[in-house]
Amino acid sequence: MSDVVERFMRYVQVDSQSNPKNLEVTPSTPAQHDMARLLGEELRALGCEDVVVDEHAYVTASVPASPGAEDAPALGLCAHLDSSSDAPGKNVKPHIVHYEGGDLVAGFANGRRVATTVEQVPDLAQFVGKDIICSDGTTLLSADDKAGVAEICALVARIQKNPSLPHPTLKIAFVPDEEIGHGAELLDLDRFGARWCYTVDGSALGEFNYECFSACQAQVIIRGVMVHPGSAKNVMVNAITLASEFGSLVPAYERPEHTEGREGFYHPISIEGTARKVTLSYILRDFDSENFELRQQTLQKIAAFMNARYGEGTVEVKIRQQYRNMAEHFADIPFLIDYALEANREVGIEPNIVAVRGGTDGAQLTFRGLPCPNIATGGYNLHSVREFIPVESLEVTVDLLEHLVAKFARVAA
pTM for the model stands at: 0.84
Q: What is the DSSP string of 180-240?
A: GT-GGGG--HHHH--SEEEEE--SSTTEEES-B-EEEEEEEEEE-B---GGG-TTT-B-HH
Q: Report yes or no: 141 and 389 within 8 Å, Cβ to Cβ.
A: yes
Tell me, what DSSP letter sits at residue 252? G
Q: What is the pLDDT of residue 412?
A: 64
Taking 3-state DSSP, the helix, strand and coil percentages for the chain, each rounded to the nearest 5, stand at 35, 25, 40
Tell me the C-alpha to C-alpha distance, in Å, between residue 339 and each of 16, 123, 194, 405, 409: 32, 25, 17, 9, 12
Which residue type does 107 have?
G
Nearest to 338 by CA among 196, 212, 152, 144: 196
Between CA 367 and CA 214 the distance in angstroms is 12
How far apart are alpha carbons 101 and 96 in whole angstroms? Answer: 15
Number of C-beta neighbours around residue 228 at 10 A: 8
Residue 23 is predicted with a pLDDT of 86
Q: Report, in angstroms and rounded to the nearest whole number, the Rg of the chain calculated over CA atoms.
A: 23
What are the residue numbers of the active site? 82, 178
Angle at the Cα of 200 from the Cα atoms of 199 and 204, rounded to 5 degrees = 130
Per-residue pLDDT tens digits of the chain, which is 413 residues long: 899 999 999 999 999 999 998 988 999 999 999 999 999 999 999 999 999 999 999 999 999 999 999 999 999 999 999 999 999 999 999 999 999 999 999 999 888 999 999 999 999 999 999 999 999 999 999 999 999 999 999 999 999 999 999 999 999 999 999 998 788 889 999 999 999 999 999 789 999 999 888 889 999 999 999 999 999 999 999 999 999 999 999 999 999 999 998 999 999 999 999 999 999 999 999 999 899 999 999 999 999 999 999 999 999 999 998 888 888 788 889 999 999 999 999 999 999 998 888 767 888 899 889 999 999 999 999 999 999 999 999 999 999 999 999 999 987 65
Sign of the torsion formed by the C-alpha atoms of 286, 58, 60 and 54: positive
Total residues belonging to the chain: 413
